[in-house]
Amino acid sequence: MWEEMKMDSSVFVMGEDIGAYGGAFKVTEGFLDEFGEDRVIDTPISEAAIVGAAIGAAHMGLKPICEMQFIDFIGSAFDIIVNFAAKVRYRTGVGAGIVIRGPCGAGGRAGPFHSQNVESYFANVAGLKMVAPATVSDAKGLLKSAIRDPDPVLFFEHKFLYRRLKDDLPADTDFVVPLGQARTHREGSDLTIVTYGAMLYTVEQAADRLAEEEGVKVEILDLRTLRPLDVDAITASVRKTGRLLIVHEAPSFGGFAGEITAQVCEKAFEWLDAPIRRVAALDTPVPYAAPLEDAHLPAVDDVLATARGQLAY
Amino acid sequence: MGESITEGTLTRWIIAVGETVDRDEDLFEISTDKVDADIPSPAAGVLAEVLVNEGATVEINTIVARIETDANEFSASSDSGGQPIVDTAPIPVEPADLSSPSPQKAAKQPVEMVPMGQKERLRTRSTPLVRKIAMEHGIDIGVIVGTGANGRVTRDDILAYIEAKKTSGGELVTVQETVTTATSRPTTPPIETPSTLVPPTATGSIRVPIHGATLDIKLGSVPIRENDRVEPMSRVRLRTMEHMLMSKRVSAHVTSVNEIDFERVVRLRRSMKAKFSEHGVKLTYAPFIYRAVIEALREYPILNASVDGTRIVYHANINLGIAVALNDGTELIVPVLKDADHLSLLGLAQGVNELAEKARSKTLDFDDIQGGTFTITNVGVFGNLFGMPIINQPQVAILGTGVIEKRPVVMEDAMGNDVIAIRHRAYFGLSYDHRVVDGAMAAFFLNKVQDCLENFPEETG
């Protein structure tokens, strides 16, 4: 964001506690001093107002980046996102080039209102883009693309990864990762696992164990962008392996895995040698108590059990 | 009925066609591998039609009858373990005539009224990918041996078939023994749950599943001469056959033998017999042997373990399997005495007598034959000196106890002179899995059993 703000003076940030406080997760620490009050705006506690103001600013030619302090609070802005931001280009010809970013995801014992993954709430809405990076370089490259994108982009940063991932970035500070493109995280031949966000690391562990214990080569596909979905990457991988497993942290019912399953059945049914399966969280609110949260979330053993079922089919 | 039961024989219709039957009233009798049962009617009504006759053996979920109720027709099926009733074509248990192995498609039998069932479909239609490959190459999936679940032809199977056809120029060459270790198949569930039994195909080969691999053994055809009698194997025999072959392939069998001096136990038994029969329990040598085995298992728990891939599972419970011969020695069953280490001598005696009685009267239930951690087989009851038994998977050892008989034995008297004494002695043969039990450990175990028996404490039972 810093680089984008330096390069383009129309880019600005707004959100709760992002200025003086530097943000609940310190994402915007130092921004206020560097860019000033006009471009680092501490807002009142009203997500609807944040997004509404952002859309207005976008219509005036600016490039706002809204922060939802916890992505769970995006519900308060649901109407303005779905009924305005997503549809305004369709209705008026003038798009809302805003980014709405925020920390999503569970694992930190933060309870039901600070741990959700909200992609399914918006999946059905034409006019929105949704991004969920899993690696450091993807996070940077995709955010740049999102900021430059003329359409509303929801940008989900998994809070569990905020401090846990550290990586070297490419020297080219202006590298962007285009939206709508999945990335093959690991090549394989026996089973394709499609995932995104923090689940990438759970999937990695499961794939390591399958390779070690059973000589199985899992191909891991990191979606990176959820909408638009890179279904071609998925079907290409299914053609290679014949087996598909989808893993996401959001609960199972109505989750993204259902959409992917339907699309793969439409486009690559003849290439399947086993049923498509998914591993996702239980259909409950995210529990606060540690053992309950662990039971709620998909674990490495869950992925292993399901994968083994498919491999043995 | 139990997860492992895949088929049963309808032995007797209790209600006749045309008779009314109440809901839950016994409708027909079935006989399965281990257990006979009466099946209650799922609805009240009139028995309209019987689809399976007495004596016929059918797969689970086969519709056996139709009952007309007031509301509508209701079908009674041979297994309603909470599963949806799926029509299946009954598959005959008798394999084709062994003398002329004409290539029949085992899956395609003339079906009269019921459409294809799920297992059938899986075997002949497999998955989209396999169908696609089959169509592209003009292959009938039914002729390929499948290594997938329920005998399904997998992608690897059909690709291998195509490769083989290419390399042999037309006619498929069957290798004598092909072990397909599918790298894409991870550890299957523990062997405790019996695998799908595939009756020998018409081409005379059998498949033995082992830990994620399957062993395909092509049998040469057996010459059958004029006065020979050919009999199809019973379910129990098929199961035993499969298990024994698999066990020999899975475990590295070694047998060690000790000779036990039984003089003390003989004396103890004589003195305790009366007291036990007051409790209505016949006291044999068995409970003494079990006690000794339990002590030794406690001290050497590796003999009470299982192998799971590259891990050893040390079982917390000591569940003793006791081999019982049935039907004039034509059948073998191993009921399990659970938590035997919590039983006193009296408890052991009662337990084993109960199990043996249940076995003989075919009233064992599924719980009685699951969960064993160590097995004891009494080869001596028939007079054998000792045996080298086959391990009962997924255990790692089995003890064969030989006949207890009087033998001349060299012993030292009180003054250190060698004398010949007449003693009750028995050979104990311990077969063990050398994957995890080495000779020394087996020796320690056997020596401990010997020590316990030779110095058996005076017990009040």
Instruction: Render pLDDT for A165-187 as a digit per residue (tens, 0 to 9).
Output: 888 787 777 889 999 999 999 99
Residues of chain B positioned with their CB less than 8 A from the CB of A307:
186
CB nearest to A190's CB, from B149, B184, B310: B184
In this predicted structure, the answer to whether residue B91 has a pLDDT above a threshold of 60 is no
Q: Report the pLDDT value the prediction gives residue B447, as an integer from 0 to 100.
A: 97
C-beta of residue B322 within 8 angstroms of C-beta of residue B368: no
In this predicted structure, the answer to whether residue B49 has a pLDDT above a threshold of 80 is yes
Placement of tokens 């919590």 in the chain: B342
User: Closest Cα partner for A134 from A193, A182, A205, A188?
Assistant: A182
Average pLDDT, chain A: 95
Q: Do B152 and A313 touch (CB under 8 A)?
A: yes
Please indicate if any CB of chain B lies within 8 Å of the CB of A313: yes
What's the ipTM? 0.75
Residues of chain B positioned with their CB less than 8 A from the CB of A274:
127
Q: Do A213 and B309 touch (CB under 8 A)?
A: yes
Please indicate if any CB of chain B lies within 8 Å of the CB of A212: no
C-beta of residue A246 within 8 angstroms of C-beta of residue A199: no
Instruction: Render pLDDT for A135-145 as a digit per residue (tens, 0 to 9).
Output: 999 999 999 99
Please indicate if any CB of chain B lies within 8 Å of the CB of A242: yes
Instruction: Render pLDDT for A17-38 as a digit per residue (tens, 0 to 9).
Output: 999 999 999 999 999 999 999 9
User: In what helix (H) or strand (E) does residue A105 lie, and over which residues does it extend?
Assistant: none
Tokens of A160: 């569990």
The total of other beta-carbon atoms located within 10 Å of residue B353's CB is 17
Determine the distance from the C-alpha atom of residue B249 to the mean position of all C-alpha atoms in its chain, rounded to a whole number. 16
In this predicted structure, the answer to whether residue B108 has a pLDDT above a threshold of 60 is no
SS3 A188: coil
CB nearest to A313's CB, from B148, B183, B309: B148
Q: What is the mean pLDDT of residues B346-350?
A: 92
pLDDT level of residue B208 (50, 70, 90 thresholds): low
Residues of chain A positioned with their CB less than 8 A from the CB of B155:
242, 273
This prediction's pTM: 0.51
B266/B285 Cα distance (integer angstroms): 8
Q: Do B127 and A215 touch (CB under 8 A)?
A: no
Q: Do A214 and B148 touch (CB under 8 A)?
A: no
Q: Could you say which residues from 155 to 194 on chain A have a Cβ atom under 8 Å away from some Cβ of chain B?
A: 190-191
B438 included as an active-site residue: yes
Average pLDDT, chain B: 79
Q: Report the pLDDT value the prediction gives residue B211, as an integer from 0 to 100.
A: 52
CA dihedral B66, B68, B71, B77 (to 10 degrees): -20
Instruction: Render pLDDT for B231-246 as a digit per residue (tens, 0 to 9).
Output: 888 888 888 888 999 9
B429/B403 Cα distance (integer angstroms): 11
pLDDT level of residue B256 (50, 70, 90 thresholds): very high
More confident residue, B444 or B79: B444
B365 included as an active-site residue: no
Q: Do A313 and B149 touch (CB under 8 A)?
A: yes
User: In what helix (H) or strand (E) does residue A227 lie, and over which residues does it extend?
Assistant: strand A225-227
Please indicate if any CB of chain A lies within 8 Å of the CB of B131: yes
Longest dimension (CA), chain A: 60
CB nearest to A274's CB, from B127, B188, B309: B127
Q: What is the mean pLDDT of residues B244-255?
A: 93
Please indicate if any CB of chain A lies within 8 Å of the CB of B149: yes
Q: Hey, which of A74-88, B152-166, B266-280 has the most confident mean pLDDT?
A: A74-88
In this predicted structure, the answer to whether residue B87 has a pLDDT above a threshold of 60 is no
Q: What is the mean pLDDT of residues B15-35?
A: 82
In this predicted structure, the answer to whether residue A234 has a pLDDT above a threshold of 50 is yes
Please indicate if any CB of chain B lies within 8 Å of the CB of A236: no
More confident residue, A130 or B84: A130
Q: What is the mean pLDDT of residues A52-61?
A: 96
Q: Do A242 and B187 touch (CB under 8 A)?
A: no
Q: Do A272 and B188 touch (CB under 8 A)?
A: no
Tokens of A291: 């053992």
C-beta of residue A227 within 8 angstroms of C-beta of residue A133: no
**Which among B87, B253, B434, B451 is annotated as catalytic?**
B434
- Strands B205-210 and B73-77, sheet pairing: unpaired
Q: Do B130 and A273 touch (CB under 8 A)?
A: yes
Placement of tokens 């703000």 in the chain: A5
Q: Report the pLDDT value the prediction gives residue B196, as an integer from 0 to 100.
A: 43
A281/A46 Cα distance (integer angstroms): 29
- According to the 3-state scheme, what is the secondary structure of chain B? CCCCCCEEEEEEECCCCCCEECCCCEEEEEECCCCEEEEECCCCEEEEEECCCCCCEEECCCEEEEEECCCCEEEEECCCCCCCCCCCCCCCCCCCCCCCCCCCCCCCCCCCCCCCCHHHHHHHHCCHHHHHHHHHHCCCHHHCCCCCHHHCCCHHHHHHHHHHHHHHCCCCCCCCEEEEECCCCCCCCCCCCCCCCCCCCCCCEEEEEECCEEEEEECCCCCCCCCCCCCCCCHHHHHHHHHHHHHHHHCCEEEEEEEEECHHHHHHHHHHHHHHHHCCCCCCCHHHHHHHHHHHHHHCHHHHEEEECCEEEECCCCCEEECEEECCCCEEECCEECCHHHCCHHHHHHHHHHHHHHHHCCCCCHHHHCCCCEEEECHHHHCCCCCCCCCCCCCCEEEEECCCEEEEEEEECCCCCEEEEEEEEEEEEEEEECCCCCHHHHHHHHHHHHHHHHCCCCCCC
Please indicate if any CB of chain B lies within 8 Å of the CB of A274: yes
CA of A215 vs chain B CAs: smallest distance (Å): 6
CB nearest to B129's CB, from A190, A270, A307: A270
pLDDT level of residue B191 (50, 70, 90 thresholds): very low
Instruction: Render pLDDT for A283-312 as a digit per residue (tens, 0 to 9).
Output: 999 999 999 999 999 999 999 999 999 998
- Strands B205-210 and B213-218, sheet pairing: antiparallel
The partner residues of B408 in beta bridges, in order of sequence, read B422
